[in-house]
Amino acid sequence: MKIESFELKRIQLPLVTPFRTSFGVQTVRDVLLVFARTTDGVTGYGECVALADPVYSEEYVDGAEQVIARYLAPAVLAGGGVTAADVARLTSGFVGNRMAKAAVEMAVLDAELRSAGMSLASYLGGVRSTVEVGVSVGITATVAELVDVVRGHVEEGYRRVKLKIQPGFDLEPVAAVREAFGPDLLLQVDANTAYRADGLALLTRLDAFDLLLVEQPFDHDDIELHARLAERMRTPVCLDESLTSAKTTAAAIRAGACEIANIKPGRVGGYLEARRVHDVAQALDVPVWCGGMLETGVGRAANLALASLPGFTLPGDISGSARYYREDITPPFVARDGRMAVPTGPGIGVEVDEERVAGLTTRRQEIAR
């Protein structure tokens, strides 16, 4: 397969409600879409998960767009005939920028699979036609408001809820949600690196609330501190920000710092590396689940395919389109009883509403061979 050009489009999607985490509040999603056009007239879609600002990782959407336009897309175009498996090698001379690389690889992979008539789920080795999904709930102004928000999601049928926590918004809100919804609600928390070593004792007290896991309480590079917590805590310690590849995941697991792994394809450089993360975790007996980055239907479709692999035994952060967007850029994804169907069509298995994308586009550029 030959790629003739990459088109980069930036779209602005307003969020239905502001999303607050320990690293800040988001009110709109500024998304970079990558369209890979083949010489045979096939278009593959990629979504870059970089946020507007470098607050979750070093990457941010303006930078991702520039690195793709200036380095990654030209390197892939110069490769001649390519498959998705070639993209990592062709771009390996450029350090880091995993979210940017992932978006390019995803667009190439989607084009490749659409040409071959194969779904992403079968390509990756998926074994399930539906997957369990949950919702990630942001930090609220009051605990009462949090309980109301969670109630709304429980009424929508979600059975697993992830609460964002930070120092000053942890034990009390978690206790209130557990108390309001009882022992059957699958509950977990995510600190997005907001704690320091002096938070060990407080975090250990979360053991009282029967949580599925506690996600990334400490700095991304502090594997040792996560291992110390894992030793002291009954609740499994899960890593997100720390896991940048299959290699760093294996090392974190062997260090005792990662009892469950959150897999985000963008964070590890693409769906192919995400599958390798899944494979090492499975070999080391560590359960995995699919994380989210407020994706549009494009990223959501691909994440459902990934989550259909056998090691994904915990519900993913793959909520319905309506959790974030009044109108998606694909047909809306809907969760029923906390489950979602894995797309079966070629590639990511969904069509993009190009007219709607055109209406939301703030800038576009094309990189041709």
Using the minimum distance from each CB to Mg ion, give the nearer residue, 44 or 291. Answer: 291
**Integer Cα distance of 219 and 217 in angstroms:** 7
121's contact among Mg ion, ligand OSB, none, with CB below 5 to 8 A by partner kind, is: none
Which residue, chain included where needed, has tokens 């809907």? 334
Question: Quick one: which segment of 139-147, 177-185, 219-227, 291-299 binds ligand OSB (CB under 6 A)?
Answer: 291-299
What is the pattern of x (binds ligand OSB, CB under 6 A) and - over residues 114-153? ----------------------x-----------------
What is the pattern of x (binds ligand OSB, CB under 6 A) and - over residues 38-67? ------------------x-----------
**Integer Cα distance of 354 and 364 in angstroms:** 13
Residues 223-282, interacting with Mg ion (CB under 5 A)? 240
Cβ 151 to ligand OSB, closest distance in Å? Answer: 18
Strand 135-137 relative to strand 160-164: parallel, antiparallel, unpaired? parallel
Among 47, 59, 170, 190, binds ligand OSB (CB under 6 A): 190
Q: What is the DSSP code string of 281-347? A: HHHTT--EEE---S--HHHHHHHHHHTTSTTB-S-BS---GGGT-SS-SSSPP--BTTEEEPP-SSB
Cβ 124 to Mg ion, closest distance in Å? Answer: 22
Find the helix packing angle between 246-254 and 223-232, rounded to 10°.
Answer: 40
Four-residue CA torsion sign, 104, 106, 111, 113: positive
What is the pattern of x (binds Mg ion, CB under 5 A) and - over residues 187-226? ---x------------------------x-----------
Instruction: Give the bridge partners for 161, in sequence order.
Output: 135, 187
Say whether 164 is catalytic: yes
Find the helix packing angle between 271-283 and 98-116, rounded to 10°.
Answer: 100
Among 222, 240, 259, 273, binds ligand OSB (CB under 6 A): 240
Secondary structure class of 349 (helix, strand, coil): coil
Cβ 3 to ligand OSB, closest distance in Å? Answer: 28
Nearest to 153 by CA among 186, 191, 189, 190: 186
328 lies in the binding site for Mg ion (CB under 5 A): no
295 lies in the binding site for Mg ion (CB under 5 A): no
Q: What is the largest CA-CA distance in the chain?
A: 60
291 lies in the binding site for ligand OSB (CB under 6 A): yes
Cβ distance 43 to 36 under 8 Å?
yes
- Which tokens is 331 given? 């047909």
What is the pattern of x (binds ligand OSB, CB under 6 A) and - over residues 298-337? -------------------x-x------------------
Say whether 264 is catalytic: yes
136's contact among Mg ion, ligand OSB, none, with CB below 5 to 8 A by partner kind, is: ligand OSB
Task: State the catalytic residues.
Answer: 164, 264
Which residues in this chain contact ligand OSB in the complex, by CB under 6 A? 56, 136, 190, 192, 240, 291-294, 317, 319
